[in-house]
């Protein structure tokens, strides 16, 4: 049986469905029974609760031959790093107490760094603490910047005619589609051939925000579309105005700035070639443009 956290999200839902289709037993873990219904209807056992609750999570992991773990974000948390640490406390104790032997952690490029990466610092902490769990084999799937993150700029483009972020416009960084993360993680879980602790980078494209803007300009037929690099405080004010805590907004700006400085770089792709199939132009055709036109 496979235990999948974040089973209603972009990666967890796809992993669970992929394993169910292959005839595997799946325990889908999430906070909403309604949102888990689709997987339940496909044959999954569901576990409804909060990952901070260690007794709930231990029970959810019990009997699992492998676990897919992500740290669910809480954008309104007054101290996002403290919230991450609580999630890690719960996850590491649950993994240890339930005697899970195989784990795939959704991590991020930059998780090897111990400062300056905003929310990715929680993944650095998670990797280090998971390494200390005796008898647990783990892959830290260090995903690139989600292509889906660009969807957050959709309303900005529609209402204001530009897109923006605190990151520098001309520095290339790595991107990946969440469906590729799910496929890669699902294959790792199914095979269970990994041992020890290993980090695996995953990306499909390397583009700058100027490159992204150029692709969107063409695909969406918006000749005047431009990218603006927002001052940090302006970005923080905008995010807090949308309900994000100041702590989280400051972390997101720090992450964007590190992205724009090239700090979130590849560390273990031997030939430097993309190892995920989806390209950003394809993502725009299949996901962004339909959402924009809707």
**pTM summary value:** 0.94
The DSSP secondary structure of the chain, one letter per residue, reads -EEESSTTSTTHHHHHHHHHHTT--EEEEES-HHHHHHHHHTT-EEEES-TT-HHHHHHHHTT-SEEEE-----TT-SSHHHHHHHHHHHHHHHHHHTT--EEEEEEETTTT-SSS-TTHHHHHHHHHHHTTSTT-EEEEEEE-EEGGGGGGGHHHHHHHSEEEESS-SS--EEEE-HHHHHHHHHHHHHH----SEEEEEE-SEEE-HHHHHHHHHHHTT-TT-EEEE--HHHHHHHHHHTT--HHHHHHHHHHHHHHHTT-S--SS-TT----S---HHHHIIIIIHHHHH-
Decide if pLDDT at 49 tops 80: yes
222 and 194 inside one domain = no
What confidence tens digit (pLDDT) does each residue in 6-31 have? 999 999 999 999 999 999 999 999 99
Q: Which residues contact 276 (CB under 8 A, 6 or more apart)?
A: 176, 177, 180, 181, 184, 202, 203, 204
What confidence tens digit (pLDDT) does each residue in 218-237 have? 999 999 999 999 999 998 99
183 and 259 inside one domain = no
Instruction: Compute the half-sphere exposure of residue 20: CA atoms within 13 Å on the CB side of its CA.
Output: 21
31 found inside a domain: yes
211 and 196 inside one domain = no
13 and 83 inside one domain = yes
- Domain at 19, CATH number: 3.40.50.720
Decide if pLDDT at 241 tops 80: yes
128 and 187 inside one domain = yes
Decide if pLDDT at 76 tops 70: yes
Q: Are 94 and 130 in contact (CB under 8 A)?
A: no
195 and 219 inside one domain = no
Count of domains for the chain? 2
Decide if pLDDT at 270 tops 80: no
Report the C-alpha gap between 168 and 166 in whole angstroms: 7
Task: Report, as an integer, the average pLDDT of 200-209.
Answer: 95
Q: What's the pLDDT score for residue 271?
A: 67
9 and 140 inside one domain = yes
More confident residue, 265 or 191: 191
Q: What's the pLDDT score for residue 266?
A: 83
Decide if pLDDT at 269 tops 80: no
Task: Report, as an integer, the average pLDDT of 204-211.
Answer: 95
Q: Which domain holds residue 193?
A: 2-145+177-202
What confidence tens digit (pLDDT) does each residue in 132-177 have? 999 999 999 999 999 999 999 999 999 999 999 999 999 999 999 9
Binning pLDDT at 50, 70 and 90, where does residue 260 land? confident
Average pLDDT, the chain: 94
86 and 135 inside one domain = yes
């Amino acid at each position: 049986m496979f235990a999948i956290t974040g089973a209603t999200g972009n990666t967890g839902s796809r992993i669970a469905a992929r394993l169910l289709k292959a005839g595997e037993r799946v325990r889908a873990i999430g906070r909403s029974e309604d949102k888990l219904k689709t997987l339940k209807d496909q044959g999954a056992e569901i576990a409804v609760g909060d990952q901070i609750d260690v007794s709930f999570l231990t029970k959810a992991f019990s009997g699992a031959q492998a676990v897919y773990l992500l740290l669910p974000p809480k954008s309104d948390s007054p101290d996002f790093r403290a919230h991450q640490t609580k999630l890690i406390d719960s996850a590491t104790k649950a993994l240890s107490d339930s005697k899970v032997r195989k784990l795939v952690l959704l991590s991020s490029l930059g998780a090897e760094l111990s400062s300056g990466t905003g929310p990715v610092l929680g993944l650095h902490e998670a990797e280090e603490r998971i390494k200390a769990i005796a008898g647990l084999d783990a892959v830290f799937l260090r995903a690139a910047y989600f292509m889906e993150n660009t969807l957050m700029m959709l309303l900005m483009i529609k209402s204001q005619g530009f897109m923006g972020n605190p990151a520098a416009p001309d520095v290339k960084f790595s991107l990946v589609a969440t469906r590729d993360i799910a496929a890669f993680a699902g294959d790792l879980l199914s095979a269970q051939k990994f041992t020890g602790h290993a980090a695996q980078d995953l990306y499909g494209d390397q583009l700058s925000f100027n490159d992204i803007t150029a692709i969107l300009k063409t695909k969406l037929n918006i000749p005047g579309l431009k990218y603006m690099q927002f001052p940090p405080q302006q970005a923080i004010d905008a995010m807090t105005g949308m309900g994000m805590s100041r702590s989280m907004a400051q972390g997101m700006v720090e992450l964007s700035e590190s992205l724009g400085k090239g700090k979130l770089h590849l560390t273990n792709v031997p030939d430097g070639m993309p190892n995920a199939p989806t390209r950003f132009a394809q993502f725009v055709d299949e996901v962004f443009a339909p959402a924009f036109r809707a």
